[in-house]
Structure 1
Amino acid sequence: MALACADPRNRGTRIALLFLAFTALLCIYLTWNSIQSRHSTIAAQFTQPSVTLLTNNDITYPRQALDALSPQKAREFIDRLDAIRDVAFSPHYEFMNVHNLENVDRLLQYLERVEDGERLPAPRVVLSSWHFLPTCYEESSNGEVQWMRPLLELMQEQDIFIIYAAFPDKTFHTDFYLLGNDLITHAWMDDEHLIWCFQDPHSCMQSERNLEGIPLWKMFAFTFWGSLPRSGKWLPPPTDDTSWSFNPLGREWNLVPYQMPEGHFYIGYHYERCQALQYVPFAQRPDQIVVLAKKSEYFHNNALLLDPSTFYTRLKNATGYHIVSNARVEDGYPIPEGLNNIGLLPQAEYDLQLANTKALLGIGKPQISPTPYASLCRGVPVIIPYRSDTGCPARPGPNEYCGFYAEIHQHGPAAAIGEPYIYTVDVTGPVEDIIQTIQRAVNTPIEPFEPEEMTKGAVRQRLLDYFDVDWEAHGEAKGFGTEELVLPPWLIDWSRRNPDPTLH
């Protein structure tokens, strides 16, 4: 009876209070579960099986078992970094000094979290002498830079720390020693630097005479071009043997931007400038084709070249389009007839021009450039030349080297995407067929396209896989330390002609 006679306003208040109390309890429960889940995820890093595997580019690698970094070791690292702050991290470029100190400060913050009781694995710390790293902080459109810049962003997001030290003046050697073999987990070098280090057991490579040197399994060649047989740079003898690598450690220790044959470790890249501009609908673009060429020399000295005296005029007459180039004019290499040469543009202006064109035409150089991907992500199809008389297919697979040779194919990895995004033309075939293919490309609109393997998520996963590999165990499985690793004879000859400047 009491409930029946209760003031309905009081009853409503009690219901509201009960609802609020229930909501509060639910929020506490969900928050606690979230905290527990996060701690479980972190703890799972340290309880994974010690023998798990991962695969990259058809090679299977052991995954390292992660151990928690102790607060005592974290304090040791902190004291070491504080002690060497004024004598290390100072390359010739002032902006790279800023880069280094920013990474050192982030590393210190990571170590302080461990010292404060957070359960974290040992930090992943890269010492790099790769000479393109400083250009990432300059106005540069080099393919190497467009590969590296997004990786730097991903490394920062994933608590991976990279410190730059030049090799030729032994800054690299000194900084490795000061930072310590227990702190530096990976060494990224130019290909020449790796070869020189490999031949220097006194001050660079770890040996009985240099116990604090760089272990073989920590030495990686960070290279846009990979290790190609018959590479003109290394001048090997003519041979069809594809089993050698300039890297005596094997191709797995070559980090590359494309899926290259025979086990190169495929990091790949994400073309970050795709988001710089809005998509321009096909119908709103002017009738123009942009020719991919940064130098006027490319129109004259090129194994994949079509006759520059007639081809561009014929193409212009057949399509009715403006044929635009952005080449720097060099002495002795005039711009061919039929081309409207605008000259080199700042990156932002070139992006705008590319977004407002109907096709990008490759002429053989530059080789494996990122620009075709910049074109695709703006909905602009690409035409790429190759030579069928070499036996190379129009769309080489990832296990075929011919897609990486400038005299055979301009861009094997991009060509593999196929139509309607990437068209290939055989420069040994009839010119009429080539012009017909170009006309088909400009008359087939496409939407913006980004290959799945070039998405930020895909690149992030391969980067994390790389740092998850137990490289020491992989090196042991390949015989590091038990078998003598030697350079091919032609690399020994190259080293004699190009000695390590740090040894003099």
Structure 2
Amino acid sequence: MYRVLAGNTNGDGVPAIIMSDEHIFNCWDEPNRCVKSSGNPDSPPIWKFFSFHFWPNAQHPLGHPWTLSPEDYSPIAQGPRDTNTFLGYSIEPSCDLQPFVPHEERVPGRVYAMTKRLSYFAPQPDRAWPPSFFASAARRVRGVQFTIGAANDTKFAAHWHLEIPQMSEFGGEGVMKNLGLLERDAFVREVARSKVLLGVGRPAISPTPYQALCLGVPFINPILDWDPRAPNEPKTWNTQHNGLRELKPPYVYNVHKDDEVGFLGAIARALDTPIPRYIPPGKSLSEVAVRLHTILQRDWRYEAEELLGERIRTKKGERFTL
């Protein structure tokens, strides 16, 4: 990385350099080797560097604007300077690597529960469904068969005082089949062979639901928290995947946690209503390209000058070289 940057005097001709959040701070901590400073005048200035970070908090020495995010977090921000810059991403390239499986060739009744750890089923605030819901579905939804690809992380769960339910609590092996922790390509193949993808509360904002929709697999999105005065207003929801909370059936079924009737109904409807490949609004490669173009057109030097002036006036925040 240092050799590449050293070849660009002050980063001329390079509008932006995107790094992981970890690398951006490593770079910042070595100003005489990576970013422009009084002792290293030939490297690009810090305002040309951007970090890509999955969560809403700032992960860049210059704060939120220089932190690129996969989702639009502006609705939960206190102000325009308190939100990361929305770039997003598209799963189209990776989705195209997996052929679309015709619905009649998929595993009959398969609902793939999205979890890599059995501990996600342990009682905790963001667990969406108790095991009894799965047993109930096996009795009441014709032909349903749940599949997971999860590691048995009993030791991890014990460390955090989490009690993993026994398979019998889900209705037995005939109801819940565990394929074990899968490599990514194998995981995508199994999702493509499924009828429905079921969120269980964790992990948050995973790319997998986007991948599933592109493969023609609808997603059941748990609503983990909501305003009791407006329980059916999506803007008040905190869901497992907030990027999908505004979408509706037959693509996304948003269901309140611990709502057994809603859980059973969503599974039954999703199994009975196959969907084609679907790319949610804002997630196409062309839309990401438009947002990237817009980001690159911003006057980042001017914004950096304003920030530096503010830091000098308030004596808050580290100073940097323009």
The TM-score with structure 2 as length reference comes to: 0.76
Aligned pairs (5 A) from 1:83-102? none
1:416 maps to what in 2? 246
CA distance in 2, matches of 1:316, 1:488: 62
CA distance in 2, matches of 1:357, 1:369: 18
Consecutive unaligned residues of structure 2, counting only runs of 5 or more, are: 75-79, 156-163
1:313 is matched by which residue type in structure 2? A
Corresponding residue SS for 2:210: helix
Compare the two structures and name the one with the higher helix fraction: 1
1:274 is matched by which residue type in structure 2? C
Corresponding residue SS for 1:289: strand
Q: Of residues 312, 325, 336 in structure 1, which corresponds to 2:148?
A: 325
How many residues get paired? 292
Task: Give % identity.
Answer: 29
1:459 maps to what in 2? 288
Aligned pairs (5 A) from 1:176-325? 176-177=5-6, 179-183=8-12, 184-195=14-25, 198=28, 205-212=35-42, 214-227=44-57, 245-261=58-74, 262=80, 263-271=83-91, 272-285=93-106, 286-300=108-122, 302-306=124-128, 308-319=130-141, 320-325=143-148
1:359 and 2:196 are equivalent in the alignment: yes
1:341 and 2:178 are equivalent in the alignment: yes
2:90 is matched by which residue type in structure 1? H
Bigger relative CO (Cα 8 Å, ≥ 6 apart): 2
1:328 is matched by which residue type in structure 2? A
The TM-score with structure 1 as length reference comes to: 0.51
Corresponding residue SS for 2:136: helix
2:77 maps to what in 1? none
CA distance in 1, matches of 2:52, 2:292: 13
2:161 maps to what in 1? none
- After superposition, the Cα gap between the structure-2 partners of 1:393 and 1:178, relative to the gap in structure 1 and judged at 3 Å, is farther
- After superposition, the Cα gap between the structure-2 partners of 1:216 and 1:368, relative to the gap in structure 1 and judged at 3 Å, is same
8 A contact 1:385–1:410 mirrored in 2: yes
CA distance in 2, matches of 1:304, 1:486: 43
Q: CA deviation at 1:423?
A: 0.7
Q: CA deviation at 1:388?
A: 3.6
8 A contact 2:11–2:45 mirrored in 1: no
Q: CA deviation at 1:301?
A: 5.8
2:310 is matched by which residue type in structure 1? E
- After superposition, the Cα gap between the structure-2 partners of 1:290 and 1:480, relative to the gap in structure 1 and judged at 3 Å, is same
CA distance in 1, matches of 2:184, 2:313: 43
Aligned pairs (5 A) from 1:351-500? 351-389=188-226, 396=234, 408-428=238-258, 430-476=259-305, 479-484=306-311
8 A contact 2:201–2:224 mirrored in 1: no
1:432 is matched by which residue type in structure 2? V
CA distance in 2, matches of 1:365, 1:193: 27
- Higher Cα radius of gyration: 1
1:321 is matched by which residue type in structure 2? V
- After superposition, the Cα gap between the structure-2 partners of 1:186 and 1:308, relative to the gap in structure 1 and judged at 3 Å, is same
